[in-house]
Homo-oligomer: A and B are copies of this chain.
């Protein structure tokens, strides 16, 4: 039994923010130099510090990009929901991974050889520009996170996380939370105890309703206000 390829490169590239710019022969090249992998929840897809040899094209699932902190308390920079693309910032610098990416829900993805990717980018300006756009979006997201850490406290950060999960990750309200309380604390940079307490307060005040793993945001406008001013 070999490593099978179940995905069709052409179909996937149609929806990809980067590879949608490829010509047929370029898609063929990618197809020859890709590895299709499935990761179970909790498994590490890319470990910070290891060599950065591939870029990732996400096909299915939910993954998190996190920063390793001392004491095992990580910080989640962002989540990844397909269709999407990821390439580490070490690419042109030290060719190392600077983040740890791990699967939250079952993930299906392709690892694409870095050299192949760079070769194609050298020839395909459109793709290069799409790549830059993604890079810049990542920067804006980082800056946003930074602002949160700098000005918001407790309440504001939890409110922000709630809205983010509903709007950018689960695309629904109510939503069923697939991440743990610990991960919620790693999203916000707070301790898990603090997150617990604040979620409790939010339910007491009728802002949200939690039944098991299901979160229902009852007063989004108020949450937004707290997110902005808290």
Shortest C-beta distance, A17 to chain B (Å), equals 12
Q: Which of A60-114 contact B (CB under 8 A)?
A: 67, 69-70, 75, 77, 89-93, 98-99
Q: Which of A31-39, A147-155, A177-185 contacts B (4 or more CB under 8 A)?
A: A147-155
Q: Which residues of B contact A122 (CB under 8 A)?
A: 125, 129
What separation, in Å, do the CA atoms of A77 and B150 have in the docked complex? 12
With A and B bound together, what is the CA distance between A135 and B75 in angstroms?
A: 22
Closest chain-B Cβ to A161's Cβ sits at a distance in Å of 16
Q: Say which size band chain A's interface belongs to.
A: 35 or more
- Assess whether A135 is in contact with B139, with CB atoms less than 8 Å apart: yes
**Residues of B contacting A99 in the complex (Cβ-Cβ under 8 angstroms):** 143
Mostly helix, strand, loop or mixed at chain A's interface?
Answer: helix
Q: Does A145 contact B (CB under 8 A)?
A: yes
A129 CA to B150 CA, complexed, in Å: 32
Closest to A133 in B: B92
A136 to B80, CA, bound (A): 19
Residue from B90, B131, B138, B145 in contact with A132 in the complex, judged by beta carbons closer than 8 Å: B131
- What is the CA–CA distance of A145 and B131 in the complex, to the nearest angstrom? 24
Q: How far is the CB of A99 from chain B (nearest CB, A)?
A: 8
Determine which of B128, B139, B189 lies in contact with A128 in the assembled complex, contact meaning CB atoms within 8 Å: B128
A205 to B: closest C-beta gap in Å = 24
* A41 to B67 alpha-carbon distance, docked (Å): 36
Contact between B133 and A132, CB atoms less than 8 A apart: no
Task: Give the B-binding residues of A (Cβ under 8 A).
Answer: 67, 69-70, 75, 77, 89-93, 98-99, 122-123, 125, 128-129, 131-133, 135-140, 142-143, 145-147, 149-151, 189
A-B contact list, 20 entries, CB within 8 Å:
A67-B143, A67-B147, A69-B147, A75-B146, A77-B143, A89-B143, A93-B133, A93-B140, A128-B128, A131-B132, A132-B132, A135-B136, A135-B139, A139-B142, A142-B142, A142-B143, A142-B146, A146-B146, A149-B150, A150-B189
